[in-house]
Structure 1
Amino acid sequence: MFVSEHDKPQPNARPLNPQTERIAQLLTQAPLFNGLAQEEIARFARGVREQKVDKGQVLFHKGDPCQGFHLILSGQIKLAFVSVDGHEKVVEILRAGQTFGEAVMFMDKPYVVMAQALTDCALLHIAKQVVFEEMARDPLFCRKIIAGLAQRLHHLIADLETYSLRSGRERIIGYLLREDEMNGEGTPCGPVSVRLPTNKGTIASRLNLTQEHFSRILHELIDSGLITVEGRTIHIPDICRLRKSLS
């Protein structure tokens, strides 16, 4: 019977020092690093750097060199394109537990978007050299990396389908339903309150809508009795009714 390196007993494994152990605990917040043995954690720890980022701070600009990828421990990060005249298109809004920058790291090219903190954030930056070394050492880790990139591609294709085939109203309702699911609720029916993670303009850009169009659709949903709005909180009297309105 085949036994993977992760499953082999390691009686001589040395205990981790406090700093490495702390990094290990932080790394396990991402599925990519689940199940790492002590030796693997120790190898990664030397290439991990903690970062505290203030709200509004730009982590990197389009064209900056990529030396690794980031794991979000807390807070929210916006990935966006910015035109020469200052107009912005939000590509993704990322939260705790998510990573970004892997694809560019493997391509050995500069960043193709900018990254900015939407809130105060705590991050880990994982140097590409330790990632490459671990991939050369562990086929299972390679599969995790590929699975993560494939999932990101799947989401991008789903976004393209949404922008191309769905109306603005359908995009906003779909977004509210996903927010409920991401908050761990997934309420089948009944009242729900969804707190928007950032301002309406940023979310509108993420959904490929103008802020004016976004606001107009919200008012239409209010007039239909499907939602009420209180600042950044969207109250849904009956999420089952909202869900059925998509059909």
Structure 2
Amino acid sequence: MDMEQFDMPRYLSVLPLFSDLFPEERERLARGCQLRRMTRGDMVFRVGDPCDAFYIVVLGQVKLYVSSPAGQEKIVELVSPGQSFAEAMMFLSMPCILNAQALADSVIVCVSKQAVFSEIEHDPRFSLHMLAGISRRLHGLVKDVEGYALHSGMQRLIGYLLRDVEDEISSAVGIVTVSLPVSKATIASRLSLTPEYFSRVLHELEAERLIEIDKREIRILDVQRLASYGSH
């Protein structure tokens, strides 16, 4: 990606968060944005850092996580291209309460708090878009808590594998291939599973001829059987 030729207003126009803004509003907001290139392992921010911006992933992937004093990690969210993060912390005017780290070489947009607040003053409608984005994230986190509390580890893993075909489970035929975007250990942490349990369940599903594993490629051999298997 040519960082110097990156068209910030045009990029903002394709994001749901900013698509309804007038061109002059996007131009104004773009002036408060900064493009950052991250290499794998770089920290976007750490717990305790001031949160004076929110971020959008353009390329790559970012993990949001917390760490125990013993160094154990719990991944809260994996953020992919087109998704944003840290909006709520920015509005709280409090230090960051979690860590954000690039999982791969990434490009992110840093949207300054000053630019956001200035845009809200110009047009209060903008705050509705921000609230909608925060609400979507809250809804996702509530679904996560529901999954941890009510679903078995097997069900959580199957749900993850079927996340992109949920609306087509009843009609899906043939083999569906799922590419794991990050390591199995990272996904296990995201699902609140140990890496050992994650691998054990995958191999159980493979033994049942529900999936085939080829490194990070998971071929789902029977979507409907896999969906029902988790409820046994």
TM-score by length of 1: 0.87
Of residues 144, 151, 158 in structure 2, which corresponds to 1:173?
Answer: 158
Report the structure number with the largest CA radius of gyration: 1
| Number of the residue aligned with 1:61 | 46
- Percent sequence identity is 44
After superposition, residues 81-100 of structure 1 pair within 5 angstroms as: 81-100=66-85
Q: What is the identity, as a one-letter code, of the residue corresponding to 2:107?
A: A
Q: Structure 1 residues 197 and 185 mapped into 2: Cα distance closer, same or farther (>3 Å)?
A: farther
After superposition, residues 220-231 of structure 1 pair within 5 angstroms as: 220-231=204-215
Confirm whether residue 104 of structure 1 aligns to residue 89 of structure 2: yes
> Deviation per CA, 1:177-219, whole angstroms, max 9, x where unpaired?
114569x999722201111010011100000011111111111
The separation in 2 between residues aligned to 1:186 and 1:51, in whole angstroms, is 43
Q: Structure 1 residues 207 and 24 mapped into 2: Cα distance closer, same or farther (>3 Å)?
A: same
| Number of the residue aligned with 2:134 | 149
Unaligned runs of 5+ in 1: 1-18
The separation in 1 between residues aligned to 2:223 and 2:171, in whole angstroms, is 7
Structure 1 contact 20–42 (Cα < 8 Å) conserved: no
Q: Structure 1 residues 61 and 229 mapped into 2: Cα distance closer, same or farther (>3 Å)?
A: same
The separation in 2 between residues aligned to 1:166 and 1:118, in whole angstroms, is 27
| Number of the residue aligned with 1:245 | 229
Moved more, 159-168 or 22-31: 22-31
Structure 1 contact 73–124 (Cα < 8 Å) conserved: yes
Structure 1 contact 50–123 (Cα < 8 Å) conserved: yes
The separation in 2 between residues aligned to 1:78 and 1:169, in whole angstroms, is 23
SS at 2:230's partner residue? coil
- What's the CA shift for 1:244? 2.8
The separation in 1 between residues aligned to 2:137 and 2:30, in whole angstroms, is 25
After superposition, residues 115-194 of structure 1 pair within 5 angstroms as: 115-180=100-165, 188-194=172-178
Equivalenced residues, count:
228
Unaligned runs of 5+ in 2: none
Structure 2 contact 13–26 (Cα < 8 Å) conserved: no
Aligned alpha-carbon RMSD (Å): 2.2
TM-score by length of 2: 0.92
Q: What is the identity, as a one-letter code, of the residue corresponding to 1:66?
A: C
> Deviation per CA, 1:117-160, whole angstroms, max 9, x where unpaired?
11111111000011011112223211111111111111111000
Q: What is the identity, as a one-letter code, of the residue corresponding to 2:8?
A: I
